[in-house]
A and B are shown apart, each in its own frame.
Chain A
């Protein structure tokens, strides 16, 4: 499948996504949804090693929050991070190439789905360890405060991360030092298969409030509601008001990971999934637009994703000789693992 040099289609440049209008936000919701559907198909077809954690159902959180950010703001993402990366403006071509482990991927095929990130868009990594990004975002917020550059940092994490001690430590440091960081809990109700009701004592917002952090519960299925809450939080953080916590109540329509399609674990009922599907963020966002505009956007997104697929699958597989490239920022080459 290695492409001949020069034959691959090109990817658009990454630029911070314009998410200023309801139409732009609907377009991004549609792009994330379509991207994830395409990725699911490519997992099934064997073109994406390791599978993915699909973001389908949660799109309004990424779109609403990222629409409240400035181009120079920073964020940390999660194992379920494709939506954050796209909403920040990465080209779907290069994200998909990363998922497929190709040289034109955002990370050159070194990160894959769980680590896909574009530092030039202020994404300080997507993370395979639940909760690990929260203190990294706090550090970015600390650096921004010291630099006086007005940048805000956002930490995305799920309800599962509420039980990671390091997240609670992060709340404390951010609150004590009044750092410009917004903690965004994407509460999709389950830490893999464990319901939040069986895992989180007290409440998510109560935990943040205990540290003196203003905490708000938000309808995470409504991009406009998320945007409004995120703007309040981001604006306050930017003007020196300190951290904020948003609990975005949302739902993933797919499994925790694509392996669920094979394992078929039973931890939620079809009725529950159907009930949440009636609250799908896409029709809700589309209802704000002229139907003709929706059709135009859907067509454009579908063409974009088709070209992303062509690009990703035409991109070359990395040369195994470079498997240890980038291990050190100074180019240090480790010893080989085998003695000839």
Chain B
């Protein structure tokens, strides 16, 4: 029985996949030094031929990974800053993601992007605090946001083994989470949600680090409201059957989502629930505001992120 940190879980997943499959390699900035955490020690163990420190040329090394993937490798890319994904949106969405369809299925592009420290990091301001997972889910790229260390481990291993591009967001606010591991770490399949807490009154779909906030709020209100906390884990493809089954039990829905509100992940969950699933009350979502840019000062940064207070209010609102 060990205490596993989120970052260490990513580190172990990378090491285990590198050890299991010689085709796996890692590209990124400062990964030899392990600056962001997940690649710590990998250079010593696997060497510079597989742990490749790249110059600050995100677009080129992301496309390089595509060429390597088409040549038999399974590259993993680490991006220290979530906003760097905007820089490589062309390579990930327009190239890697479209390759299978455009070639009529001649080849897929098995590459995995890891963003250790997505969302706000408290004081990193406008260009380091985005949480753009909804963009990738919208574009159709397989998108994973683990909340816990064991899920981070298991989902990263599955992402690397997946034949398509996958982007894994490791929320900065989830990195301090530690977990007592009582079973052997194992891959977690993509596309499967996880119920962290069962309830009968309302389903909270919580994404990434917000799972932990949702669990805390669920505990606080437990005497009045029976809250079910559903962690989708994979945002695309989403586990719609798990959500449908949960709403069969509760009939009420709140989405707790660190996306910008308009066209965000929560919007899609609410729309699908309204169109196709069983709801007994109008649903709610707790998100960043429309088109949010996080300001620098800590109080301002927090003011635009979804909060426990907002979730609490939303829970009472769907019950009345």
Contact = CB atoms under 8 A, between A and B. Distances in A.
Contacts of B105: 108, 110, 325-326, 329
Given A125-B102, A169-B57, A332-B237, A132 B162 contact: no
A153 interface: yes
B176 interface: no
Contact of B101 (A76, A139, A140, A326): A326
A114 to B, nearest CB: 9
A326 B64 contact: no
A107 B60 contact: no
A145 to B, nearest CB: 9
Interface string B47-65: 0010000110101111111
Given A109-B104, A125-B103, A143-B68, A135 B90 contact: no
Interface in B92-128: 94-95, 99-110
Contacts of B91: 132, 135
B104 A108 contact: yes
Interface in A110-164: 110-111, 115, 117-120, 124-125, 127, 129, 132, 134-144, 146-147, 153
A57 B25 CA distance: 42
B320 interface: no
B103 A110 contact: yes
Contacts, number: 154
B293 interface: no
Contact of B67 (A115, A140, A176): A140
A119 B109 CA distance: 13
Interface centre among A74, A142, A325, A335 (most CB of B within 10 A): A142
Interface in B63-95: 63-73, 90-91, 94-95
Contacts of A330: 108, 162-164
B164 A136 contact: no
A118 B72 CA distance: 16
A291 interface: no
Interface string A319-340: 0000011111110101100010
Contacts of A110: 101-105
Interface string B145-164: 00000000000000000111
Contacts of B164: 328-330, 332
Given A115-B102, A176-B55, A326-B105, A135 B72 contact: no
B187 interface: no
Interface residues of A, number: 51
A295 B153 CA distance: 66
Contacts of B106: 107, 117-120
Top 7 A-B pairs, shortest CB-CB distance:
A139-B67, A329-B108, A108-B104, A135-B63, A169-B60, A139-B64, A326-B105
Interface of B: 25, 49, 54-55, 57, 59-73, 90-91, 94-95, 99-110, 140, 142, 162-164, 191, 237, 240, 275-276
Interface of A: 74, 76, 105-111, 115, 117-120, 124-125, 127, 129, 132, 134-144, 146-147, 153, 165-166, 169-170, 172-173, 176, 324-330, 332, 334-335, 339
23 contacts: A105-B104, A115-B102, A119-B70, A124-B67, A125-B103, A132-B90, A135-B91, A136-B70, A138-B60, A140-B67, A140-B70, A142-B64, A143-B67, A146-B25, A170-B63, A173-B60, A173-B64, A176-B55, A325-B101, A329-B108, A329-B110, A329-B164, A330-B164
Given A115-B103, A132-B95, 12 more contacts: A105-B104, A115-B102, A119-B107, A136-B63, A136-B70, A139-B63, A143-B68, A166-B63, A169-B60, A325-B101, A326-B105, A330-B163
